[in-house]
Chains A and B, each alone.
Chain A
Amino acid sequence: MFQPLHASATRAVEKLRDIGEPLPDDLASQLAKLADGSQSSAAVEDLLRPYVLVDVSIDEQGLPISTPGAAQPRLVQHGWRSFLVRIDNPHRLVGDLAAQSNHVLNTVDYHSHAARIAMADTLTIVPRIKSSWLEVKLAGPTDVSGLDVEYKVISLYSRDGGSQSGELGFVLAVEEAEHSYTRPPMAKAWRRMGSENRPYQASYEFDCLSARDIRFDIREPDGSSCVAALTVRDSQRRSYPSKGMRLAPDMFFHEHVYRATGEVITLPIGQYEISARRGPEYREVRVEVDLTADDDAVTIELDRWADPARHGYYSGDPHIHAGGCSHYSVPSEGVNPETMIRHVRGEGLWMGSVLTWGPCYYHQKQFFSGSSISPRAELEWPAMQQAQGMNWDPQDTDHDSQSLLRYDLEVSGFPSSHSGHVILLGLTDQDYPGTKIIEDWPSYNLPVMRWGHAQNAMVGYAHCGLGLSVSTSELPNYVIPGFQSIGSNEIIVDVPLGAADFQCGAEFDPASELNIWYHLLNVGYRTLMLGETDYPCIYDDGPGVGRTYVQLPEPPQGPQALESWLGGLKDRASYFGDGRSHVYDFAIDGDTTREQTADAAGPVRVSATVAAWLPEDPPALPAAGQPAYSAPVGWHLERSRIGRTRTVLVEVLVNGVPAGSQELVADGNEQAVEFDVPLERSSWVALRILRSVHTQPIFVELAGRPIRASRRSAQWLHDSVDALWKAKSGFIREAERADAREAYDAAQAAYLTRSDEAEVD
């Protein structure tokens, strides 16, 4: 039985290394030598014994009895420490192990992903927070394998400094042959533990190293104050504040927290690497500090490499949430505008559309006002923060007024959501006429889109690529997708009926997102495309992972800021992407207007100023066995890098097909690009760096003829309506199905007409 014990011990030692608390260097090598030499189980146990905090013995009934091990119980205030756990399992039971303590705060419910505990019997949870100071969790696999002896890793977080008494124990959910949906094994295990009168927890006197407030003096390059995303790690890569016990506005699923100039993070003395960023227009700044007892502040100057607003382009994310999804899934909960504005400011965004949707609809709709707002970034629950030992006062900054929120609506979790999630931007009324509850709303999207338009809102589709993947990266392609998801699905019915304005993406594979857009443009529609994040549902990182830049004569400000931004989106230049590349002043023959005319076919000059920034070298591939969660996914300029160079490809498109390209060094400098392109017929023209940036098209109509650039695009759209009906019609209410079919028929008729009008195949 040496090999399984040794493998378990090695895995635990490697886990400690991976989470940044490695055991002494020679221990791992001594452990490895045992596999080659003596193969003595006792030698493995002797080697690890000094680092074991808890010895656990599992009896024949599956009750884990814990006793203190040899490791010193030394913790750190507002930080994690990790130790080995030795599990003695003579009856070779198999199950799932959970760590517990009577002092656990449980601010995060990992099952429901709620950010605050739900205690229905109390009005306030502050007393519970005050009495809780310890968080415990098993790091890594929690399964008990059935070995006689195996090792696990436990991590402990202390909110408080000084000497603290506490207990640690474990619960084992034993695998059972009979599966119960109402009484899963862990629930049975907890109930069994609750009825035990034997002591099963180990008691400790923990020595917790104290921490104190460190003030961050964050500055823009011009010296102005601002909000930024700060990631603080100690020399062993542990994050601060601890992710395990965060309260809004700090999120447990972020590595970073958002802090304004003059605000604090609580840290013990020691060495730290602090990185700061304010969205993709900034290069990450890394500062290494050695905090002594005399230090109380850290200065950070941000490194901005692009400033689109200086060119008149203002950023926005049309799709972020204050409730639901990755975090606040207690249906009536979420965070307040005071938290959302902090996150938007910290990502350097001008506009953030906070969309209320299904689960949080009835709670979050209270924040809808029909106006753009820029509230002070107050703490939502100061008493809870104080009870948790986080005493900090929000600070105003010089850039606060530049970021605004607008509460609007995403039709997600509504009866029509099967046809794609609709985003409505610029609503004046958020309740569909004649409805009292969500379930009363229409069961297909077209009526909702028309209702939005009646309010002068702009309406379109979220996470457009979902349901449109066809296992090819070719663009354009003519494969009919299944439309069996919640992206730009019904858009092919709504656009020809004048009821949809845009789709949002920059999240998934470009082929699944752009193909439908290119086809719509090819038959003459003016559908817009925006970059979005769907924060924190698709991307947890922060608002503005996908973003849209709109050219405006003045910054969007005041209660009508969103309307100004949307107005620019309709009529002026804009581009979308990951914010790591930018296209300014995109023009045809020097003209930046979106709608242009010419008398006859002929060459045109396409020009723009393009800037992109990549590190000089690509990121190192992760070591074998190491997670690669930081690898770029979705739209990310790193995925545009040509080989291992620092160059990316700028392409000019005519009717969705590249008509020229030019390599660009992504060194952050603005560079002029020019292409001479023949226009043979009425066309749309755009620039892109695939997976990073795409402009809205400029439409050029020759000799007064509309754009009918592809008969195959018209046919693809027509045939796709059939696939859409096949996928969606069963979800449409019987009472609405005839009207829906009529709309589908009208859309198909429009595509047939445009197919007949097309000049080329």
Chain B
Amino acid sequence: MYGEPAGCCGPVDTKAPISVTINPEARVNVARTAARVEPVAPGHWHPIDLTIVNDGYVTGQLVIESDPVPGVELDLPPHDLTGEPRQEGAIRVRFDSPAVVDVTLNFRALGALGGLANHSAMHLLLRSQ
């Protein structure tokens, strides 16, 4: 038997609002954690942390993608997966003016799967005030 006897995919212990888990079969799941995304001030870049739990020894790039969303700029850098069991990362957001936007983020782990991507999506409600 490999893994915990019950509840293999419990919540990630993190203070980051986003968790990315890569299971032993190299399947990627992204989820919101209990950590809130607080409203941010306009005019500045703000990081939104993410924690990557990599149980699949997956290496290569973790790519984060989103369609453009009016009212907000998104900085979605690719993250290099090292194969280590845990990595911390972040994306950044910047508002020009106070607004509320709903952003859909797609996560894809490349490379270690011979170009066949596994991906997962989540949405974030972002506020600037």
* A binding-site residues for B, Cβ under 8 Å: 1, 3-4, 7-8, 11, 94, 111-113, 141, 143, 145-147, 175, 179, 321, 324-326, 329, 331, 355, 357-359, 410, 412-413, 421, 462-463, 466, 469, 471, 486, 508-509, 512, 534, 537-539, 619, 621-622, 624-629, 631-634, 639
Contacts and interface: CB of A to CB of B under 8 A. Distances in A.
Interface string B69-89: 111000000000011000000
B48 interface: no
Given A3-B102, A357-B1, A421-B1, A633 B120 contact: no
Given A321-B1, A469-B83, A631-B113, A3 B7 contact: no
B1 A624 contact: no
A66 B115 CA distance: 46
Contact of A633 (B7, B26, B103): B26
A412 B4 CA distance: 11
Given A628-B117, A639-B114, A512 B70 contact: no
Contacts of A143: 32
A187 to B, nearest CB: 14
Given A4-B100, A175-B36, A624-B65, 20 more contacts: A3-B70, A3-B71, A3-B99, A4-B125, A7-B101, A7-B102, A111-B6, A175-B34, A325-B1, A326-B8, A329-B5, A413-B5, A462-B2, A469-B83, A534-B1, A538-B2, A626-B119, A627-B119, A628-B116, A639-B113
A537 B119 contact: no
Interface string B32-75: 10101000000000000000000001010000010001110000
B125 A146 contact: yes
Nearest to A412: B1
Most central of B25, B34, B103, B116 by chain A CB within 10 Å: B116
Interface string B100-129: 111110100000111111111111010000
A654 B116 CA distance: 31
A458 to B, nearest CB: 19
B1 A410 contact: yes
B6 to A, nearest CB: 4
Contacts of B125: 4, 145-147
B55 to A, nearest CB: 10
Contact of B83 (A329, A471, A534): A471
A369 to B, nearest CB: 21
B57 A631 contact: no
Contacts of B106: 624-625
Interface of B: 1-3, 5-8, 24-27, 32, 34, 36, 57, 59, 65, 69-71, 82-83, 99-104, 106, 112-123, 125
A337 to B, nearest CB: 18
Most central of A3, A331, A358 by chain B CB within 10 Å: A3
Contacts, number: 127
CB-based closest 9 A-B pairs? A7-B102, A4-B102, A329-B6, A145-B125, A469-B57, A412-B1, A631-B116, A359-B5, A471-B83
A311 B94 CA distance: 66
6 contacts: A141-B122, A147-B125, A358-B5, A471-B59, A471-B83, A625-B119
B117 A622 contact: yes
A639 B117 CA distance: 12
Given A471-B82, A508-B24, A537 B1 contact: yes
Contacts of B83: 469, 471
A145 B104 CA distance: 13
A175 B24 CA distance: 31
A408 B1 CA distance: 13
Contacts of A355: 1
Most central of A619, A621, A629 by chain B CB within 10 Å: A629
Nearest to B58: A509
Contacts of B70: 3
Contacts of B116: 619, 621, 628, 631-632, 639
B2 A466 contact: yes
Nearest to A359: B5
Contacts of A462: 1-2
A325 B26 CA distance: 18
Given A94-B36, A624-B106, A7 B57 contact: no
A463 B3 CA distance: 11
Contacts of A112: 6-7
A471 B114 CA distance: 15
A179 B34 CA distance: 10
A80 B3 CA distance: 31
B27 A633 contact: yes
B14 to A, nearest CB: 13
A141 B5 contact: no
B123 to A, nearest CB: 6
Contacts of B59: 471
